[in-house]
């Protein structure tokens, strides 16, 4: 889940996707999201292999906006 804002206001009706991959691996996986409320986007996936993952949140709206923000996730064993 992520909140997307522009000029401190919720960004609505955007195309938001999560891209993630396990550190050291080349295969990237994409998860589409749905906007649950103004500027709040949620997508579901399962990472069953523990380790460090890189995550990018991609945001696109029209032709004028295409950006992404990187994160690092630590996935623990169950």
Q: Which residues contact 44 (CB under 8 A, 6 or more apart)?
A: 31
How many domains are there within the chain?
1
Residue 18 has pLDDT above 90, yes or no: yes
Per-residue model confidence as pLDDT tens digits over 35-70: 999 999 999 998 889 999 999 999 999 988 999 999
Pairing mode of beta strands 5-6, 9-10: antiparallel
User: Which position has the token pair 């009706």?
Assistant: 13
Q: Domain range spanning residue 16?
A: 2-75
């Amino acid at each position: 889940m992520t909140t997307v804002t522009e000029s401190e206001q919720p960004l609505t009706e955007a195309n938001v996707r999560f891209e993630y991959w396990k550190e050291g691996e080349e295969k990237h996986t994409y998860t589409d999201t749905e906007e649950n409320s103004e500027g709040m986007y949620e997508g579901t996936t399962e990472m069953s292999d523990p380790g460090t993952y890189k995550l990018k949140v991609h945001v696109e709206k029209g032709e004028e906006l295409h950006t992404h923000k990187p994160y690092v996730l630590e996935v623990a064993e169950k």
